[in-house]
């Protein structure tokens, strides 16, 4: 196949770009993936905590995330091919979320699980202490900045328990998952080209292709923006912002990697853990480490950045993260050397992604993944292929939003939920929790 023979160009070979390429290829399209980096999954995907969890603040968010659990469980079957680097592994250890006044003691989350048929366990404080003995139930709410005199001081209350979500856990190596998807897409006919930046998307009407660095023009009637934190810049190249009510921006985030608490049962019992009382979430890594991320409390001003020019060094945010996790895990030390990740989320105005067409025929976007869409990548690939198929076949998705049937859970979701032209979803947590 020569490079003039492609039906679709996917911009970005992260976990979602590679998933879109796989599903488009399986649908019979000739796909070229372009990435300015050197390897699949080496953009923001590489820094992902890769947590899989079914709880979101919206029904559609929960339904999609619960569906994704089954794709990861059946990863090898979904890929249908091997990878010389091995396959990413899903550790289905479940997720524990603290009940706090701020999340209304998770009453809505449990209602949503009932509605989508996802199993969960409602734990009181004694069960929580028994299941995760290294945790304290002292309350610290509200989350505070480190320079607040009340930082780290318990408020005198205790938390009543937690909810354990069984269909959840984490994927051991997010970049490897993207590589797995790339190999599967290649087996279905897709071509990946690295070290190639898209620099222009010419024209104003239907897309005709892209221009890459060096000036080469590559033709295709379909172009899909899956450029992660660079999504807004790619949309600007295409001139498609005109009818969008939701936009995307790059947000800097730090994730701390610290030695696990010295509890002998940690390796066996640890789950993903989310705590809006201290505003830290954690996940275990091989029973040896704890990855700690932030749940975006109001006391931490958001760090909006230029995705091509931001500080990759750790800051006092790293120490704050570890100290917040230490409020919940009193035996956790603060290491003298900072380890972890400094990366970018591609955040939409309401922290819900945009999976949609655009005002230019042939131009699509899977963007605004807001620090919470790694898990959904394999399903999003299939959703985008269905959306593109329908729109290319003449369906007016803006006027009559497409429904999409979820394979495992049997629900039908309305893809209009992810529209670029929606109003801000008032149910959103407006945080990484989605
Ligand atoms: C620190 C962190 C923690 C996270 N934790 C979780 C989690 O626990 N669970 C979860 O579900 N999600 C999580 N996420 C979110 C998840 O990782 C992302 O939603 C997902 O990886 C985005 O994948 P992507 O393919 O859209 O983007 P990316 O992986 O960023 O890929 C975009 C690609 O586009 C390429 N590109 C950009 N511009 C151009 C151009 N002009 N030309 C060619 N190529 C270009 C880049 O090189 C890059 O490879 C986290 C994200 C971060 C940053």
The Å distance, Cα 372 to ligand 1 centre, comes to 10
Name the average pLDDT for the chain.
Answer: 96
For a mutational test of ligand 1's pocket, the pick from 371, 378, 379, 433, i.e. the residue with the most ligand atoms closer than 8 A to its C-beta, is: 371
Q: How do residues 313-359 score in pLDDT, each as one tens digit?
A: 999 999 999 999 999 999 998 999 999 999 999 999 999 999 999 99
Domain co-membership, 66 together with 201: yes
- Whose alpha carbon is nearest atom 3 of ligand 1? 48
Domain co-membership, 255 together with 397: no
Cα-based distances in Å from 419 to 181, 200, 241: 25, 24, 13
The Å distance, Cα 43 to ligand 1 centre, comes to 5
Where does a domain end: 345, 361, 396? 345
When pLDDT is cut at 50, 70 and 90, the band that residue 302 belongs to is very high
Give domain status of residue 82, yes or no: yes
Give domain status of residue 428, yes or no: no
| Helix segments in 239-312, DSSP class H | 266-269
Where does a domain end: 345, 373, 393? 345
* pTM recorded for the entire structure: 0.98
Domain co-membership, 146 together with 39: no
The Å distance, Cα 262 to ligand 1 centre, comes to 33
Domain co-membership, 261 together with 336: yes
DSSP H helix total and E strand total for the chain:
10, 23
Which residue ranges have their beta carbon within 6 Å of ligand 1?
11-17, 34-37, 42-45, 47-51, 197-198, 226-230, 234, 253, 255, 341, 343-345, 369, 371-375
Domain co-membership, 367 together with 341: no
Q: Is the alpha carbon torsion for 95, 98, 104, 106 positive or negative?
A: positive
- Whose alpha carbon is nearest atom 14 of ligand 1? 371
Give domain status of residue 423, yes or no: no
Domain co-membership, 254 together with 147: yes
Domain co-membership, 275 together with 130: yes
When pLDDT is cut at 50, 70 and 90, the band that residue 1 belongs to is very low
Instruction: Flag whether pLDDT at 4 surpasses 90.
Output: no
Helix or strand run (H / E) with residue 66: helix 59-73
Give domain status of residue 336, yes or no: yes
The ligand 1 atom at the shortest distance from the C-alpha of residue 35 is 44
| Domain that includes residue 28, residue range | 8-86+173-247+350-418
Domain co-membership, 228 together with 287: no
Do 230 and 236 form a contact (C-beta atoms < 8 A)? no
Number of domains the chain is built from: 2
Domain CATH for 283: 3.30.9.10
- Whose alpha carbon is nearest atom 2 of ligand 1? 48
For a mutational test of ligand 1's pocket, the pick from 227, 234, 294, 370, i.e. the residue with the most ligand atoms closer than 8 A to its C-beta, is: 227
Domain CATH for 233: 3.50.50.60
Domain co-membership, 16 together with 108: no
Of the candidates 95, 255, 119, 93, the residue with the CA atom closest to the CA atom of residue 172: 93
Give domain status of residue 433, yes or no: no
The percent of residues above 70 in pLDDT, for the chain, comes to 99
Where does a domain end: 322, 345, 368? 345
Domain co-membership, 146 together with 195: no
* Share of the chain residues as helix, strand and coil, in percent rounded to the nearest 5: 30, 25, 50
For a mutational test of ligand 1's pocket, the pick from 61, 374, 379, i.e. the residue with the most ligand atoms closer than 8 A to its C-beta, is: 374
For a mutational test of ligand 1's pocket, the pick from 21, 45, 93, i.e. the residue with the most ligand atoms closer than 8 A to its C-beta, is: 45
Helix or strand run (H / E) with residue 249: strand 248-259
Instruction: Flag whether pLDDT at 175 surpasses 60.
Output: yes
Give domain status of residue 68, yes or no: yes
Which residue's structure tokens are 């998952």?
A: 177
Q: How do residues 24-81 score in pLDDT, each as one tens digit?
A: 999 999 999 999 999 999 999 999 999 999 999 999 999 999 999 999 999 999 999 9
Q: According to the model, what pLDDT value does residue 287 have?
A: 81
Domain co-membership, 183 together with 229: yes
Give domain status of residue 362, yes or no: yes
Domain co-membership, 358 together with 321: no
- When pLDDT is averaged across residues 364-390 and rounded to a whole number, the result is 98
- When pLDDT is averaged across residues 405-425 and rounded to a whole number, the result is 97
Give domain status of residue 431, yes or no: no
The Å distance, Cα 229 to ligand 1 centre, comes to 7
Tell me the CB-side half-sphere exposure of residue 256, using CA atoms within 13 A. Answer: 29
């Amino acid at each position: 196949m020569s490079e003039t023979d492609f039906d679709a160009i996917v911009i970005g070979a992260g976990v979602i770009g590679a998933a879109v390429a796989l599903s488009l290829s399986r649908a019979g399209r000739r796909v070229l993936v372009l990435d300015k980096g050197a390897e699949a999954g080496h953009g923001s995907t590489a820094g992902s905590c890769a947590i899989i969890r079914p709880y979101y603040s919206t029904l559609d968010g929960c339904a999609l995330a619960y569906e994704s659990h089954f794709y990861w469980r059946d990863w090898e079957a979904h890929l249908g091919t091997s990878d010389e680097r091995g396959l990413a592994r899903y550790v289905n250890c479940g997720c524990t979320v603290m009940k706090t006044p701020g999340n209304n003691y998770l009453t809505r989350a449990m209602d949503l699980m009932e509605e989508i048929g996802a199993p969960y366990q409602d734990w009181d404080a004694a069960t929580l202490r028994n299941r995760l003995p290294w945790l304290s139930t002292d309350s610290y709410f509200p989350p505070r900045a480190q320079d607040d005199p009340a930082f780290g001081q318990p408020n005198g209350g205790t938390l009543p328990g937690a909810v354990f979500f069984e269909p959840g856990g984490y994927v051991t190596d997010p970049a490897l998952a993207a590589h797995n998807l790339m190999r599967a897409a290649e087996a279905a006919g897709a071509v990946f080209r690295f070290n190639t930046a898209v620099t222009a998307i010419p024209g104003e009407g239907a897309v005709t292709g892209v221009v890459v660095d060096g000036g080469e023009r590559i033709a295709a009637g379909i172009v899909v923006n899956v450029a992660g934190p660079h999504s807004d810049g790619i949309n600007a190249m295409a001139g498609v912002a005109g009818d969008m009510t939701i936009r995307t921006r790059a947000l800097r985030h730090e994730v701390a990697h610290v030695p696990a608490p010295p509890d002998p049962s940690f390796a066996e019992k640890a789950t993903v853990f989310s705590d809006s009382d201290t505003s830290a979430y954690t996940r275990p890594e091989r029973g040896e480490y704890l990855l700690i991320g932030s749940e975006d409390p109001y006391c931490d001003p958001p760090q909006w950045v230029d995705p091509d020019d931001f500080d990759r060094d750790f800051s006092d945010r790293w120490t704050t993260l570890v100290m917040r996790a230490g409020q919940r895990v009193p035996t956790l030390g603060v290491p003298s050397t900072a380890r972890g990740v400094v990366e970018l989320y591609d955040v939409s105005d309401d922290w819900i992604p945009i999976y949609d067409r655009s005002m230019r025929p042939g131009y699509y976007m899977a963007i605004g993944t807001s620090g919470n869409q790694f898990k959904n990548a394999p399903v999003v690939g299939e959703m985008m292929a269905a959306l593109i198929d329908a729109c290319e076949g003449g369906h007016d998705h803006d006027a009559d939003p497409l429904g999409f049937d979820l394979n495992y859970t049997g629900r039908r979701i309305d893809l209009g939920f992810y529209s670029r032209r929606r109003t801000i979803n008032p149910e959103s947590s407006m945080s990484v929790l989605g």
